[in-house]
Amino acid sequence: MENETLEEKTREVVLDTLREAQREEKWLLYLSFSIILMAVLGTVVSSMAEEEVTKAILMRNEAVLLQDKATDAWGYFQGKALRESLYRVANQLKADPLFTQESKRYEQEKTVGKQRAEAWEREVAARLAESDRAFHRHHLLRTAGVLLQLATAVASLAALVKRKSAWVVSLAIAVGGVILFLSGSR
């Protein structure tokens, strides 16, 4: 009878040990899955961050090109304004219908030149604003990518030392990265 009791206790201890091992393996499975998920998400977020910085640089380049057009338009405006003034002064010195007609023509051309220059400047401002927004999104996404990479490293460390507390810390860091990702991807 003592032999049966010892055998039952041994069996119970072995079964408890197996159950504990299965729970431990299940936890490691979730840990492994979370590491893979964090690594993939970190890669995607970092790629998006690079796209945003590229967009920001392109918008700045377009703004520079458009600023050249605005500068040319302002030069056109100034040339027309100067000619208009010269014809107006000439008309004051010696009244002539040709001077009046040319003065009016240059005044109209000056107005068109001013409108074009202002339109180009609005385009420049729009490109610069879009560039600033893209840089802002880049910074948010880049920080999110770094947080996700850090979370991956901490989760890997949790797997090495088999500590659930380290895994929980990595999940918290990953959540911070996901929040930044969501705010930066809008």
Q: What is the pLDDT of residues 115-151, one digit of tens each?
A: 999 999 999 999 999 999 999 999 999 999 999 999 9
Domain presence at residue 25: no
Q: Is residue 154 part of a domain?
A: yes
Give domain status of residue 9, yes or no. no
Cα dist from 112 to 78, 87, 115, 172, whole Å? 12, 18, 5, 59
Does the residue 5 lie in any domain? no
| Residue 74, Cβ density class (10 Å: 0-12 exposed, 13-18 middle, ≥19 buried) | middle
Query: pTM above the 0.85 mark?
Result: no
With respect to residue 17, please indicate whether it lies within any of the assigned structural domains.
no
Q: Kindly report, residue by residue over 91-113, the tens digit of the pLDDT.
A: 888 888 988 898 899 899 999 99
Within-domain flag for 14: no
Residues spanned by the domain of 146: 34-184
| 69 inside domain | yes
140 is a domain residue: yes
Q: Domain count for the chain, please give it.
A: 1
